[in-house]
Amino acid sequence: MENDISQGTFFNFSVFPLIDPIEILKRCSGTNLKNLLVVINVNEESEERLEFLTKILSAAKFDIKEDILLLKLSPKEAFGFIDLQTKVTQSHPSGGINNLLVFGFEPKQFGLNVEVQKYNPFHFYKIGFLFADGLSMIENDKSLKGALWGGMKKLF
């Protein structure tokens, strides 16, 4: 077909298959009493890293089982955060997500077209965001621990 725009450069961009928000919500653990979604890289998951994450959250007065939704995500998976926020607001007993704390991922993985500086919290759509390096990097670096703590104090 001569005028088929799908054959031209109009659609010449990367397409990211997004996971349905219902599926993301099913994969989360925790009851989300304090409306915080924490995302970690599933490739970094270990007993020691989860213990380290528990200590980080406890210092900020969050219980990993009661106060948050914990999502373990692979680097090849992506989803629309705004769609997830809408679904949580509509269907989860907690009523929503007020803050997102991300370890080891970039905003584009969550459908967010924003440039951010790690450890520097920001607000977007009335939701607080904090992006940080992976837990394995933070765990062994005192300056990154300090940067994370400083960002978390500003966010919460």
pLDDT tens track for 31-84: 999 999 999 999 988 999 999 999 999 999 999 999 999 999 999 999 999 899
Residue 7 belongs to some domain of the structure: no
Which pLDDT score is estimated for 125?
Answer: 80
Residue 29 belongs to some domain of the structure: yes
Angstrom distance (rounded) from CA 108 to CA 114: 8
> Buried b vs exposed e over 109-139: b needs ≥16 C-beta within 10 Å?
bbebeeebeebebbeeeebbbbbbbbbbebb
**pLDDT(7) > 60:** no
Residue 2 belongs to some domain of the structure: no
Residue 55 belongs to some domain of the structure: yes
**pTM, full prediction:** 0.87
Residue 6 belongs to some domain of the structure: no
Kindly state the percentage of the chain with pLDDT values over 70.
Answer: 90
Residue 151 belongs to some domain of the structure: yes
Angstrom distance (rounded) from CA 79 to CA 76: 10
Residue 10 belongs to some domain of the structure: no
- On whether the CB atoms of residues 34 and 62 are closer than 8 A, the answer is yes
The total number of structural domains in the chain stands at 1
CB-neighbour burial class of residue 62 (10 A; exposed 0-12, middle 13-18, buried 19+): buried
Residue 38 belongs to some domain of the structure: yes
Q: Give the least confident one: 74-78, 118-122, 145-149.
A: 74-78
Which pLDDT score is estimated for 43?
Answer: 92
Q: Would you state the structure tokens that stand for residue 31, as one six-digit string?
A: 């009851």
Boundaries of domain holding 145 = 15-155
Which amino acid, one-letter code, is at 98? N
Q: Which CATH number fits the domain that encloses residue 55? A: 3.40.470.10
Residue position matching structure tokens 């990993």:
64
CB-neighbour burial class of residue 1 (10 A; exposed 0-12, middle 13-18, buried 19+): exposed
